[in-house]
Structure 1
Amino acid sequence: SLLSLLFLHYFLPSSILTTFPHVGIAVPHVAMTTPGLAAIAEVRHLAINLSGPLCAHLTDLLDMDEEHAKWLVDMGAVFIDKVRVGAGAYNAIVPQGSYLRVHPSPRRFPVAWTADWQKRLVHVNSNYVIVNKPGGLPCHASLDNAKETTEACAERALSAEVGSISALHRLDVPTHGLMCLGRTPFFAAHFSRLLRMRRVRKEYLALASAPPQLGSMVHYMRPSERSPR
């Protein structure tokens, strides 16, 4: 049976990139929790009756200290009226009547901090970045974590502005492999067009515990004919 996907190797048209170096094995995902927040519900929904600074609402309504409140804001785990609050916006004024959603215990992806991101930048220019994504890391922001992503790690490695790099395709969290990240709207549209025209060839390599049987193998996510294959 298949154990895990190791990497995805992309072959792009020569006008974009000609070669890719070999990429290594996947790094297993390790779950992390936030000390001191275990007793708080996974998601908190708050109706704001009096306008005031964001962190003041978090500390008062959720009974957490200011350090934890600021950490949640920086992680991208706080939303005002369904819009994610940007990092550092601790004193953003939350208007009266607003809806505040807070994820007190974001899911963590430690490989974001343990990987050597300078070595994982395979190719960099003004239009795009080719990055060797490690296993155990999402491509882009999840509902409760916008800081530990492939996009954010590439931005930090390049000292780029937050939000200036975007994933142009996806790899699952456990999957290790090459990704193309866009730096300009023009290239993002160009790459999307190449995908639609099937000008990008994808090659997957998988690690198996034994030689697999030849032929088509179908796996259902759930034991139902209606589930995705």
Structure 2
Amino acid sequence: MGSVTLATIIASGYRSFGMPVAVLRTLAITREAVNICCKKRVVAWSCRSSHIGALNCESSRIDVTHTTCTSPVNCYPEYQRLLPCPPQNHAPRVEHLVVSEGGPVLEYICKALDLPPLFVTDLIHFGAVYYALVSPQPPPSATPEQIRIFKEVTKPSVLRKRDSIRGKTIQEAQKTFRISSVDQFVEVGTYLRVYVHPKRFPRCYEIDWNSRIIAVAESYVVLDKPACTSVGGTTNNIEESCATFASRALGLTTPLITTHQIDNCTEGCVVLARTKEYCSIFHGKIREKKVKKLYLALAVAPVPTGVITHYMRPINRSPKLISEDYVKGWHMCQLEVIECRKVPWPSTVVQKKYCIEDCGWLKEGYAYECKINLLTGRTHQIRAQLAAYKAPLVGDSMYIPAAIAEIENPGLNPFGKYKKDYTSDDEKEMAVMEWISHYGKEPSVAIGLQACQISWDDGEQFYEAGSPWWRCEEA
């Protein structure tokens, strides 16, 4: 496996923005499984949990209708390439390795995980492989043998012999970076994290991206982002993103740059910079509150007009917990409901066309379309604030179940209007955990939310998205 061959493989990679989009085809999809192996001093553990400290794993929907086992030990698909893209995400599989034999990263991963070179090349291209000079602490699922090897390779006497970490603290040496080249050399003791099943976005291959371009300026592009897509990619997939596919649609040789985010399940206006300089300029406009965003939200119940204020728990994971009362250290969230009008509930045909999830809310024939001015920009802010008003968004599988639970049991929400008095911090924490358990999973399809307008420089730059999915014809 010579370097010339590897360079050729990378040169033909998907980030050649002029290449045609691959045809969608179903790949064999695995059952959820965990395989723990330890051989040749390789530390490897697969994980599924989304809460394992620094070793987080993505959660994803699982389709087990087609299963191909490569061995009787692990029931994984037969790996070939990452494209064509499967219509569903594979079951999560994240492998953590400690390098036992120095060499090119491609060769090491292929040998350690028994994966074909083209598949590992694709993973590196997708941004699904990370490294750190020193391994972080193993998760609770690690075996005694894996913990023993971790302690062996991180002993001070061993680390002192490594020139690569000289002058660095342990914390600095444990910082992870994305692998960008198949030829990158990894030395003994290097930590590798391999997202063997990166989160996929099949919707990218179904979109007419040229039709989603709102404006092309010298320094930026405004895109009407489709739902079920990522603006700039995820932790383990920087390939299947709006920035990449819009760049290809416009025939750009330099990829567009993300300037701000909206949720994967949300559609509407996003601004993508054409240069790093304008990306910094636009970030400055956001910080200085010179960018105004208006949203259309399709709620299951009416919402009062005017400014709504809540406080959001400052924890960087979902669901986002909201309090009606001030809580020290929590972030203030404000939005202005400009108008709220009663509209027909989306028909079965429209819901099926846009894959809207039935989240158990009792439909009454009508929904409520709200125009919202977002005054503070918090993750999930509109979704969480409207859910706190018992008016979650249509199709929002994360927040609707909790809203239903609170309606059925008004004292369930420890931060709600009918919250109970708790005798101790432990009792309050138990109530918080119980409350979180009533939330659902993050939607993998569209919800009733659109970033309908974006403007900056006092309206000098003003752009609007097309009609939201719920206004589209049933044809």
**Shared fold per TM-score greater than 0.5:** yes
**1:44 matches 2:95:** yes
Aligned residue number for residue 212 of structure 1: 302
Q: Deviations over 1:173-207 (max 9, x none)?
A: 10000110112233223222322333322111123
**1:60 matches 2:111:** yes
Instruction: Please report the TM-score for the alignment, with normalisation by the length of structure 2.
Output: 0.37
The residue correspondences of 1:133-152 to structure 2 (distance < 5 A) are 133-152=225-244
Please give the alpha-carbon distance, in whole angstroms, between the structure 1 residues aligned to 2:290 and 2:216.
21
Q: Which amino acid aligns with 2:198?
A: P
Aligned residue number for residue 187 of structure 1: 278
Whether contact under 8 Å (2:61, 2:90) holds in the other structure is no
**1:167 matches 2:258:** yes
The residue correspondences of 1:103-114 to structure 2 (distance < 5 A) are 103-114=195-206
Aligned residue number for residue 177 of structure 2: 83
Instruction: Mark the runs of 5 or more structure 1 residues left unpaired by the alignment.
Output: 1-29
Instruction: Please give the secondary structure, in 2, of the residue aligned with 1:72.
Output: helix
Instruction: Please give the secondary structure, in 2, of the residue aligned with 1:132.
Output: strand
Instruction: Please give the secondary structure, in 2, of the residue aligned with 1:71.
Output: helix
Q: How big is the shift at 1:41?
A: 6.6
Whether contact under 8 Å (1:139, 1:171) holds in the other structure is yes
Aligned residue number for residue 154 of structure 1: 246
Please give the alpha-carbon distance, in whole angstroms, between the structure 2 residues aligned to 1:196 and 1:54.
39
Q: Which amino acid aligns with 1:187?
A: Y
Select the structure with the greater relative contact order (CA < 8 A; seq sep ≥ 6). Answer: 1
Please give the alpha-carbon distance, in whole angstroms, between the structure 2 residues aligned to 1:97 and 1:161.
38
Q: Deviations over 1:46-92 (max 9, x none)?
A: 11122212221121101122232122122211112221122xx3233
Whichever of the two has the greater Rg, that structure is 2
Q: Which amino acid aligns with 1:101?
A: R
Instruction: Mark the runs of 5 or more structure 2 residues left unpaired by the alignment.
Output: 1-59, 64-75, 80-88, 133-175, 309-384, 389-398, 403-412, 416-431, 436-475
Q: How big is the shift at 1:213?
A: 4.4
Q: Deviations over 1:11-36 (max 9, x none)?
A: xxxxxxxxxxxxxxxxxxx9587943
Q: How big is the shift at 1:39?
A: 10
Whether contact under 8 Å (1:31, 1:109) holds in the other structure is no
Q: Which amino acid aligns with 1:212?
A: P
Please give the alpha-carbon distance, in whole angstroms, between the structure 2 residues aligned to 1:145 and 1:135.
17
Please give the alpha-carbon distance, in whole angstroms, between the structure 1 residues aligned to 2:233 and 2:96.
20
Give the paired residue count: 195
Q: Deviations over 1:75-123 (max 9, x none)?
A: 211112221122xx32332233221110011111111121111222221
Q: Percent identity?
A: 28
Say what the alpha-carbon RMSD is for the aligned residues: 3.1
Q: Which one is further off, 176-185 or 64-73?
A: 64-73
Q: Which amino acid aligns with 1:60?
A: K
